[in-house]
Amino acid sequence: MVLTQRPNPRRPTLQDVARRSGVSKSTVSRVINDEPKVRAEVADRVREVISELGYVPNQAARQLVTHRTHAIAVVVTEPDNRLFLDPFFDCLLRGIRRELAQHGAQAVLLFLDEADDYPRVADYLGGGHVDGAIVFSLRPGDGLHEMIDRIGLPAVFGGRPLLRDGDRAHRHAHVDGDNRGGARQAVQHLVSLGRTRIATVTGPYDQETSAADRLAGYRDVLPDAPPDLTERADYTRQAGADAMAALLGRRPDLDAAFVASDLMASGALQTLRAHGRRVPEDVAVVGFDDLTGITESTDPPLTTIHQDVDGMGRLMARLLFDAERIKAPATVVVPTRLVLRGSA
């Protein structure tokens, strides 16, 4: 790797600052690190020289002795180009960044998409570039858990760990929304409305724990629901519309639906309207996520399950720092609440 533009070949060092201000390296170091025991005049003089010379401490040298970088990696995968278009993630990341900033740590985002990203990202994380990592969307068996274990990097994971035989994911802290509990709230609400033929449109429950958990919540409340009231989709709007069409085809008598994401719910509402069903009179609908920009603009506005996404982000960051926190790594489940709008 040869850069076209050469970095500044000779940057001033601590030594340079020391010489120029007539003190020792130690004293300059103390000034830089705001240590108290330096005479004010000396400190001022040193600071003067620092800005004269445009001195910036070499972090590599510093790291070598302190073992601290003040940087935290946020590792994400961006399947199907979707991540960047996902307001959920946008909000989560914002929460993380703000919390990290409060701790004086720089968030650096790394992408883990293609197969050859793995070794590079692993090298990066293992190489001491960061003090810790917040990791999303691990694929089971991708070895990142193990790798992070081995190098002893402090880490917090997003989402319920999808365990496979032999995985030891539970050794790390995990943060997840209460998908199961939220789904229960949604379905219980529909039950309380007197609905008796409650369908569900699920996410890809064989791939994502959130989808599996939301389905589990539905089944918690309705253990005896007939299978033809369940239709699988993939969290997209179009799939939600199609799934609702399939349900209506099989069960024209359905009178409610728990649709496992707002995006799918907006598709489902459209299908219901196209089929002449009134919402909520004929069919009551509850979504999941409470995404601003979707829930208000559907017709009728979508009743849904709210998650404190920003709070989840902050929590993940805090778990990396907060010394009061869990001794043993644990899974933290962030509560949800039902938000009533027009659709149920």
Partner DNA sequence: TTGAAAGCGCTAACAA
Partner DNA sequence: TTGTTAGCGCTTTCAA
Q: Which residues of the shown chain bind DNA in the complex (CB under 7 A)?
A: 11, 13-15, 22-27, 29-30, 32-33, 36-39, 42-43, 55, 57-58, 61-62, 64-66
Nearer to DNA, 66 or 196 (CB): 66
Residue 36 contact, options DNA, a second copy, none, Cβ 5-8 Å cut-off depending on partner type: DNA
Report, in Å, the least distance between residue 10 CB and DNA: 7
How would DSSP label each residue in 239-282? HHHHHHHHHHHH-TT--EEEESSHHHHHHHHHHHHHTT--TTTT
**Min. distance of Cβ 38 from DNA in angstroms?**
4
**CB closer to DNA, 36 vs 223:** 36
Q: For the residues of 1-12, what is the DSSP string, one character each?
A: ---SSPPPS---
Cβ proximity to a second copy: between 104 and 194 the closer is: 104
Label residue 23 left, alpha or beta by phi (over 0 means left) and psi (-120 to 50 means alpha): beta
Closest CB to a second copy among 81 and 192?
81
Please, which residue, 48 or 322, has the CB nearer to a second copy? Answer: 322
For residues 154 and 10, give the distance between their C-alpha atoms in angstroms, rounded to a whole number. 35
Residue 201 binds which one of a second copy, DNA, none, with CB within 5 to 8 A depending on kind?
none
From the list DNA, a second copy, none, partner contacted by residue 340 (C-beta under 5 to 8 A by kind): none
- The CA-to-CA distance between both ends of the chain, in Å, stands at 59
In the complex, minimum distance from the CB of residue 23 to DNA, in angstroms, rounded to a whole number = 4
Residue 320 Cβ vs a second copy, minimum distance, rounded to whole Å: 6
331 binds, among a second copy, DNA, none (CB under 5 to 8 A by kind): none
Q: Using CB distances below 5 to 8 A depending on partner kind, what does residue 4 bind out of DNA, a second copy, none? A: a second copy
Judged by beta carbon distances under 5 to 8 A according to partner kind, the member of a second copy, DNA, none in contact with residue 234 is none
Residue 7 corresponds to which tokens in the numbers above? 């970095």
Contact 100, 106 (CB under 8 A): yes
CB contact burial 13-30 (16+ within 10 A = b; e otherwise): bbebbbebbebeeebbbb
* Beta pairing class for 198-202 and 336-339: unpaired
Closest contact distance (angstroms) between CB of 29 and a second copy is 15
Bridge pairing between strands 284-286 and 132-135: unpaired
Nearer to a second copy, 9 or 194 (CB): 9
Residue 119 belongs to what H/E stretch? helix 117-126
Q: How far is the CB of 152 from a second copy (least distance, A)?
A: 2
- State both tokens at 270: 């459209």
CA distance 67 to 61: 10
> Least distance to a second copy from the beta carbon of 97, Å?
6
Distance between CA atoms of residues 97 and 60, nearest Å:
23
Q: Which one of a second copy, DNA, none interacts with residue 123, CB within 5 to 8 A by kind? A: a second copy
Comparing CB distances to a second copy, the nearer of 326 and 340 is: 326
